[in-house]
Amino acid sequence: MNPRLSALQAYPFERLNALKANLKPATEAAHIALSIGEPKHAPPDFIVEALQDNGLLRQGLGGYPATRGSDELRSAIADWATQRFDLKPDTLTAEQHVLPVNGTREALFSFAQAVLSGSADSVVVMPNPFYQIYEGAALLGGAQPWYVPCPAENGLLPDFDSVPEAVWRRTELLYLCSPGNPTGAVVDLSGLKRLIELADRFDFIIAADECYSEIYFDESQPPAGLLEACAKLGRDDYRRCVVFHSLSKRSNLPGLRSGFVAGDARILAQYYQYRTYHGCAMAGHVQAVSAMAWRDEAHVTANRALYREKFTQVTPVLQQVLDVQIPQAGFYYWPATPTDDETFAQRLFEQCHITVLPGTYLGRQPTAETGGAGPNPGSGRIRMALVASLDECLQAAERIRQLSL
């Protein structure tokens, strides 16, 4: 077997299941999961209906799909990204700058396998806490992860100033997660421009995971994106920059497995070659409905309104007992806990029949080789996802409010 497999860590939900294994809720109240980051709003009707079209299905099921994706899908994606991130017309082209992927998870993983050199001292920089795929991708790509803490003092953003120059010199890939999971923090345009400068100076690629970019609360202030920062810099070739987007959160289609990767054409050409061997083309009917989803904004605006309503109603209830804020974007609270996060999660399960994710499971305690000394920045926090219905989220908040903390 590949010896690198043994470096992989248990997934947060395995650790959560173990934590809850012997616990019995002391209440008859129905279970409410605030732990899982799976969107629960209804998928758009027009997509569900389109997927029932026999002609579309016959065509999709009856042929091998192209790894590069259909022209129609790539055009829909290029148009969407150009409009959303205010890109100069015809700089992000359907021909060269866009590839469909089966959700960002597989793409974030496989991208590292394609771009990492395999050299013994290669480093992948990533936020801490983080989406665990970044770490697994780095380890299986033969690189050393370098965990960048996201402390409250830094607005829960990665403290890139803490990364020693010697580490930047070894860096081949930087994973950025903005809006952040679990923090909800957004890197602004100046922060993105600074990272691009670092990428140029030390010659690394930025993989910007922007899969929460469409879940935000002020319609006039959508989160900035890495391609947008390139456009503002006049960097119309998007050199060293690649973004990852998904229909899972934007369009409530996590089961469709549909997203895209876009940016630097030179990198995408090689990643495309990798993907043809990897064998991960998106099914034709999935491509067809994905194009429809990228071309429609009405359902996305309506989706945001649902999250806005939930956060507006739930936040004041929870604020009576926990230090929660409406996040800048995304659908997570990331509050500090009154006791250690695992004990607190156990108490919420036993006394309120509510599952939350201990922050410890989403972060790492770095060693000298992986981030210098320092605590696990996830410890002492929990992640709570407001994905359930408004009614369930309010019930959960009320139960937590009544718990004597």
Q: Which residues in this chain contact ligand PLP in the complex, by CB under 6 A? A: 37, 103-105, 131, 177, 181, 209, 211, 246, 248, 254, 259
Closer by beta carbon to ligand PLP, 168 or else 334: 334
- How far apart are CB 132 and ligand PLP at their closest, in Å? 9
C-alpha closest to that of 306 among 281, 284, 331: 331
Closer by beta carbon to ligand PLP, 170 or else 263: 263
- How far apart are CB 108 and ligand PLP at their closest, in Å? 6
Residue 381 is inside which H or E element, if any?
Answer: none
- How far apart are CB 36 and ligand PLP at their closest, in Å? 9
- How far apart are CB 182 and ligand PLP at their closest, in Å? 8
- How far apart are CB 330 and ligand PLP at their closest, in Å? 8
C-alpha closest to that of 177 among 397, 389, 334, 7: 334
Bridging pattern class, strands 259-263 and 98-101: antiparallel
Return the number of other C-beta atoms located less than 10 Å from residue 399's C-beta. 17
Closer by beta carbon to ligand PLP, 146 or else 331: 331
Closer by beta carbon to ligand PLP, 150 or else 352: 150
Helix-helix angle 133-140:104-115, to 10 degrees: 30
- Show the tokens assigned to 270: 């090689």
Closer by beta carbon to ligand PLP, 134 or else 168: 134
Helices (H), ranges, 21-94: 45-50, 54-61, 71-84
Distance CA 41, CA 307 (A): 9
Distance CA 307, CA 313 (A): 10
- How far apart are CB 402 and ligand PLP at their closest, in Å? 30
Query: Cβ distance 206 to 172 under 8 Å?
Result: no
- How far apart are CB 329 and ligand PLP at their closest, in Å? 12
Closer by beta carbon to ligand PLP, 223 or else 395: 223
Closer by beta carbon to ligand PLP, 60 or else 127: 127
Closer by beta carbon to ligand PLP, 116 or else 215: 215
Bridging pattern class, strands 241-246 and 259-263: antiparallel
Closer by beta carbon to ligand PLP, 105 or else 353: 105
Residue showing tokens 């996060």: 341
C-alpha closest to that of 313 among 261, 391, 366: 391
- How far apart are CB 185 and ligand PLP at their closest, in Å? 12
Helices (H), ranges, 92-188: 104-115, 133-140, 165-170
Measured in whole angstroms, the distance separating CA 27 from the mean position of its chain's CA atoms is 34
- How far apart are CB 253 and ligand PLP at their closest, in Å? 9
Residue 369, CA distances (Å) to 126, 142, 160, 244 in order? 14, 14, 16, 28
Q: Nearest-CB residue to ligand PLP?
A: 103
CA atoms within 13 A on the CB side of 373: 0
